[in-house]
Amino acid sequence: MCINRYKLKNKLKHYKKSIFSDKNQKTFVRLWAGFFFACFCIVTFTNFPQSKNTLTSQNTNGDVLGATSQWTQTDWSGGTSATNPINTEVNTYESATNIKVSSGQIEIDDMDRKGIFTGNQNSNGTNFNITPKAALVYNTAQEYDSRSFSYTNLEPTKVTVLEDGDYFISITMPFVNSNSNTNYRYAVEAEIQVNGVKQNVGVARSSYTRTANGHDEASNHLGVMVHNLSANDYIEVLAGGYATLTETYTGNFTLYAEKVESSTPVFTAKTTRTVAGTNVNSSESALQWTEEREDSAYTHDDSSSSHNITINDPGKYFVTVNVPIMSTVQRANLTGLVKVNGIEVQGGKFQNGYLRSYDGHNQSSLHWSGIIETTSLNSTLTITVQLEAAAGTVYIGTTAQGDESGTIYVEKVSTDDKLYIGEATQLVSGTNWNPTAASQAKWETDTEIDTSVYSHDTGTNSQEITILEDGDYLLSFNANFTSTVQRAAPKVYIKVNDSDVTGAISATGYIRATSGHDSSSNNLLIPLKNLSKNDVITVNLVAEATTGSVTLETPAVLMLWQKGYYPSGTLTSQIYDTGNPSDWRVINFTKTGTGTVNLRVRTDSNSDMSTAANWSTCDPITDGQTLSLNNCVTDGQRYIQYQVELVSVDGHTPILNDITINAEASDTTPPPINMTDVIISGHLDG
């Protein structure tokens, strides 16, 4: 027994002890021998084991007084920070790869920051065959990455960009004439404006309609990069008629917008002529280019051999070509060819720029999009054009040579991108690509297929391509035709699970079959949004005007490009300082969504984690696990850091919502003697 004249206060929380009760409700105090226990009390020492003890204490109210710490993070919206270590809750992190962060969640980032906007009217109504041109209204759907785009119904014609940089824009506008006036020619054009100013990036004018022999449908297409936008610039698409205006043209349109990151290897350029001259309606000659963006993956010289674009490394490249043309020559048309090292690529012919030069139809445009592949270093990409129909002068432009430019866009496809590329030479119904009853293209050859995302059999049901992961996909289709049937016009449209995709139509295949105009082509570049696992895609063709035989000149080519999440992403937290050597307790975290969350934790005695384990050696931790049981966590160390790896499944991303790490202060040097089971049998206050 001892009597000490000093009051026991809550300051004892700074010392290693524990208060607990036995079965008879006697209170026991565990403390180190050598500690001067100063209070009026009666203490019985019952045991003196040589061991290190636990770290908690309670006052008379039952509050825990031990040196505990807890680190919780629920917000990562502050971005990266080089400040380490930290000792308070933050909304930042050390580093991240392929991760999208916000307040309340971490998820895998989209591979492409994109927006898809659809509608069926303009600011003047539902008739697109009007003058002056009117801005398209995105009244049916708007889906977009809010980091790069914004949209409001208060300004329904405007898509606002939120980040400085370059943006790829695709427009698809099919039209139908609901009347039956066969005496005139009709066409609608579409242009891109930024902040109310027309951009010289190409114009969509491939929608010539004769309204004879049942030819009452057409379409406009455009795929271009708009260069060097600033945050809060707004994009509009203006459309209107430029030939006969007596008929009403309606339709469903789609705008696809994508932020082109500075790290994406891209080449873009403009053209107003060929090597041979400004008349592009002659023998084959290559377009000359003036570059706008030339990343290190490409080599080009504006002043020497400017028609050659050198692709430095082997790989797959996405290419779009757009050439606005004008002429007073009746029934002129051009053939364009995409060539690598002088050889036409499969499906690389485009002939959709028919010029009637009657009823005011003196302007048109040619369009192509697809994937090319280079297999050697320093391959040369060229685009050639040549006469296809009537001879005479055809310029690049609208009313005078050079007042508008043609454009090319080249983007290197990442090895992370998931592609399907197929070739077809016939339909289910046969080799006539202008069938009276709709038929589907048979994809007899798969030139590229990522079997984790696509399923396809070139023998059985080869017309069907099955999607294996949910998400958005970009579709490109090219087919070039020839026929002697006057006013034949094959129409292409896309179905998913046997249902038409609204607005996914190409109707540029019109063939006059006179004055040498016996060839045409259909090009389609459009997003397919919100596809689900096991959805089936088909490409369908049907005669839109005169029936009769229309055959392919070269195999048709289809591309599908998954525009979804990265396969995985990783975020590494900042280093947390508990303030003292710590014993590591339970970790808790909340995950939602679909996919795998691998959470790893490591500790160290150094504030820079210089002697901590390598992340690759750390076992993943489960929710509710005691951290000290993990192979990369050591009791008695002061600093801690976590790393979360997210792995997508079936096109979905898992989400981490919060994480909490619990610790208690530990003693690194135990005393030579320890007292336990100290029984307080009474005390005197004062």
Is 24 inside a domain boundary?
yes
Strand 439-442 relative to strand 426-427, pairing: antiparallel
Single-letter amino acid code for the residue at 34: G
Q: Assess whether 503 and 437 both reside in one domain.
A: yes
Rounded Cα–Cα distance for residues 87 and 517 (Å): 76
- Residue 13's pLDDT is 37
User: Bridge-partner residues for 225, per DSSP?
Assistant: 168
- Here the tokens at position 427 are 């339909």
Cis check: omega of the bond before 132, within 30 degrees of 0: yes
Q: Assess whether 509 and 583 both reside in one domain.
A: no
Is 60 inside a domain boundary?
no
User: In 52-127, which residue ranges form alpha helices assigned H by DSSP?
Assistant: none
- Residue 23's pLDDT is 42
| Domain of 685, in residue numbers | 1-55+675-686
Domain boundary among 260, 280, 310: 260
- How far are the Cα atoms of 581, 604, 619, 629, 639 from residue 625, in angstroms, in the given order? 20, 19, 12, 8, 19
Task: Name 613's Cβ contacts closer than 8 Å, sequence gap at least 6.
Answer: 602, 631, 632
Q: Assess whether 482 and 348 both reside in one domain.
A: no
Is 670 inside a domain boundary?
no
58 class by beta-carbon count within 10 Å (0-12 exposed, 13-18 middle, 19+ buried): middle
Is 62 inside a domain boundary?
no
Domain boundary among 235, 260, 285: 260
Q: Assess whether 556 and 482 both reside in one domain.
A: yes
What are the two backbone dihedrals, phi and then psi, of residue 535, each rounded to the nearest 5 degrees?
A: -65, 145
Q: Assess whether 445 and 490 both reside in one domain.
A: yes
Q: How many CB atoms lie within 10 A of CB 457?
A: 12
Q: Do 563 and 511 touch, CB atoms closer than 8 A?
A: no
- Here the tokens at position 150 are 């914004």
User: In 521-660, which residue ranges form alpha helices assigned H by DSSP?
Assistant: none
Task: Name 114's Cβ contacts closer than 8 Å, sequence gap at least 6.
Answer: 144, 145, 148, 256, 257, 258, 259, 472, 527, 563
- Here the tokens at position 349 are 């012919």
Strand 217-229 relative to strand 141-144, pairing: unpaired
Domain CATH code at residue 321: 2.60.120.40
What are the two backbone dihedrals, phi and then psi, of residue 172, each rounded to the nearest 5 degrees?
A: -130, 120
Q: Assess whether 280 and 297 both reside in one domain.
A: yes
Rounded Cα–Cα distance for residues 330 and 199 (Å): 28
Q: Assess whether 682 and 655 both reside in one domain.
A: no
Q: Assess whether 405 and 470 both reside in one domain.
A: no
**Count of structural domains within the chain:** 5
Rounded Cα–Cα distance for residues 213 and 543 (Å): 11
Half-sphere exposure of 65 (CA within 13 A, CB side): 17
Mapped onto helix, strand or coil, the DSSP state of residue 628 is helix
- Here the tokens at position 99 are 């991760």
Rounded Cα–Cα distance for residues 504 and 494 (Å): 6
Tens digits of residue pLDDT in 34-74:
333 333 333 333 333 333 333 344 444 444 444 678 999 99
Rounded Cα–Cα distance for residues 587 and 644 (Å): 13
Cis check: omega of the bond before 85, within 30 degrees of 0: yes
Q: Do 206 and 367 touch, CB atoms closer than 8 A?
A: yes
Mean pLDDT by 10 residues, the chain (686 residues): 34 39 41 38 35 39 58 95 92 95 92 94 97 98 95 98 98 88 86 98 95 92 98 98 92 98 97 97 98 98 98 98 97 98 98 95 97 98 98 91 92 94 99 98 98 97 97 97 97 98 97 96 97 98 97 98 91 95 96 95 97 98 96 97 94 94 78 56 50
Tell which residue, 368, 346, 349, 556, has the closest CA to residue 463: 556
Cα Rg of the chain (Å, integer): 35
Tell which residue, 355, 365, 185, 200, has the closest CA to residue 270: 200
Is 64 inside a domain boundary?
no
Q: Assess whether 292 and 359 both reside in one domain.
A: yes
- Residue 362's pLDDT is 95
Tens digits of residue pLDDT in 153-179:
999 999 999 999 999 999 999 999 877
Is 359 inside a domain boundary?
yes
Domain boundary among 228, 260, 292: 260
Query: What counts of helices (H) and strands (E) characterise the chain?
Result: 0, 53
- Residue 669's pLDDT is 54
Q: Assess whether 537 and 519 both reside in one domain.
A: yes
Lookup result for tokens 């900042």: 574
Tell which residue, 350, 355, 338, 352, has the closest CA to residue 391: 355
